[in-house]
């Protein structure tokens, strides 16, 4: 039986804007805060580091207008043409950098998924393995704070692809998403389960609370989902991303459940990952044989896009894991600022 979940996600309100990290993110925060037009110099986007704090935060803020928005910011800014023009330029810079990092991306689904279906013999580079074997509670808290930026909106970016699918792919995707959203039960919504995990770890369950703590490698993993989800032209990449997440989730979730249990994090903290071991093992089969195969049957020309979506997901998850490991190896926080 799952542990009780007495309190709702204290996250139905919009988060606050955070401090800028450079010229681009400053242009966005000032425009949102004032209701005005984003102001930035010519060539600013072209000069920006596509992996850097400034560009990734700017893109996250612009994408967040399509989710909960921000406290004190008019909801109509979601479709502000000046903000959309900036977003288009920034996300093009990000997408170009992704493609440049993946010149040898597999062109077929079989090639892209083959390494994901086999558990590596050597797990020394696995972050979940590290946490399961010798992770400390402060590291679990940092990991949860980082992941909260996605898990408190878990499955939301993937919903956007459903209207862009047909037949078997649409039906299978809707079935998985129904499960992600609690199968009709608010207390079983996966975002709610993660909020309960945050409670167990003594963290703030508010939506977007740890945005100011999150470094660029984490923001990039969340931005990737929004990038793929908001563009019909990238529907194949979104399916590839989703398949990659579902395929790789069960073994990692099993290790993270063990880490939570070993560190005494609490029943809700352990339950979140234990739930994903079972649920995502089923989802993996549905996404591979229902969503991916169904999409390929309807639109075979999208195969390379599906493979790219999976490869881009692996790339960014590896970059994030490297960032976290390097910080922890130095005995330092992986966050931009330590937790209270």
The residue-averaged pLDDT of 127-135 equals 93
Q: Where are the domains of the chain?
A: 23-101, 109-329
DSSP for 9-24, written as a single string: -TTSSPPPP----SHH
In the chain, the N- to C-terminal Cα span, in Å, equals: 32
Give the pLDDT confidence score for residue 121 in this predicted structure: 58
Average pLDDT score over residue span 288-307: 97
Q: Provide the pLDDT for residue 122.
A: 66
Model pLDDT for residues 136-172, shown as the tens digit of each residue: 999 999 999 999 999 999 899 999 999 999 999 999 9
Q: What is d(CA 320, CA 222) in angstroms, rounded to the nearest whole number?
A: 11
pTM of the predicted model, to two decimals?
A: 0.93
The tens digit of pLDDT for each residue in 1-23 reads: 444 444 444 445 789 999 999 99
CA atoms within 13 A on the CB side of 299: 21
Which has the closest alpha carbon to 241: 197, 186, 292?
292
| Residue range 195-216: mean pLDDT, rounded | 97
CA dist 123 and 128 (Å) reads 9
Closest Cα partner for 146 from 283, 328, 331, 329?
328
Burial 215-243 (b: 16+ CB within 10 A, else e): bbbbbbbbbbbbbbbebeebbbbbbbbbb
CB 324 within 8 A of CB 127: yes
Nearest to 87, CA basis, from 131, 32, 13: 32
Degrees to nearest 5, angle at CA 307 with 305 and 310: 110
Task: Tell me: pLDDT of 101 over 80.
Answer: yes
Q: Report the run of H or E that residue 81 belongs to, with start and end.
A: helix 81-101
Supply the mean pLDDT for the chain.
93
Radius of gyration of the chain (CA): 19
Give the dihedral of Cα atoms 167, 172, 173, 176; nearest 10 deg.
160
Fold for 109-329, please state it. Heme Oxygenase; Chain A (1.20.910)
For 80-83, which contacts have Cβ atoms below 8 Å and span 24 or more sequence positions?
Answer: 82/31, 82/37, 82/38, 83/28, 83/31, 83/38
């Amino acid at each position: 039986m799952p542990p009780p979940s007495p309190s709702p996600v204290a996250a139905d309100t919009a988060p606050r804007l955070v401090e800028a990290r450079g010229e681009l993110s400053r242009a966005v925060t000032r425009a949102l805060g004032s209701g005005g037009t984003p102001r930035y110099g010519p060539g600013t986007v072209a000069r920006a580091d596509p992996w850097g704090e400034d560009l990734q935060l700017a893109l996250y803020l612009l994408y967040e207008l399509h989710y909960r928005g921000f406290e004190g910011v008019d909801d109509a800014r979601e479709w502000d043409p000046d903000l959309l023009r900036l977003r288009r330029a920034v996300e093009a810079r990000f997408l170009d950098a992704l493609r440049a990092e993946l010149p040898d991306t597999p062109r077929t689904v079989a090639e892209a998924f083959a390494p994901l279906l086999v558990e590596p013999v050597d797990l020394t580079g696995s972050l979940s393995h590290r946490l399961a074997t010798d992770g400390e509670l402060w590291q679990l808290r940092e990991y949860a704070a980082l992941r909260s930026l996605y898990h408190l909106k878990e499955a939301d970016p993937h919903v956007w692809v459903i209207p862009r699918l047909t037949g078997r792919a649409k039906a299978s995707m809707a079935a998985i998403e129904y499960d992600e959203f609690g199968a009709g039960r608010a207390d079983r919504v996966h975002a709610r389960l993660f909020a309960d995990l945050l409670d167990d770890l003594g963290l703030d369950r508010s939506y977007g609370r740890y945005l100011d703590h999150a470094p660029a490698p984490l923001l990039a993993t969340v931005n990737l989902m929004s990038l793929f989800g908001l563009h019909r032209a990238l529907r194949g990449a979104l399916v590839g991303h989703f398949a990659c997440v579902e395929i790789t989730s069960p073994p990692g979730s099993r290790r993270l459940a063990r880490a939570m249990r070993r560190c005494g994090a609490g029943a809700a903290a352990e339950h979140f990952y234990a739930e994903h071991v079972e649920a995502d093992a089923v989802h993996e089969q549905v996404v591979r044989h229902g969503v991916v195969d169904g999409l390929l049957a309807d639109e075979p020309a999208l195969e390379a896009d599906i493979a790219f979506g999976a490869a881009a997901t692996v790339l960014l998850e590896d970059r994030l894991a490297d960032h976290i490991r390097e910080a922890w190896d130095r005995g330092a926080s992986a966050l931009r600022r330590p937790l209270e």
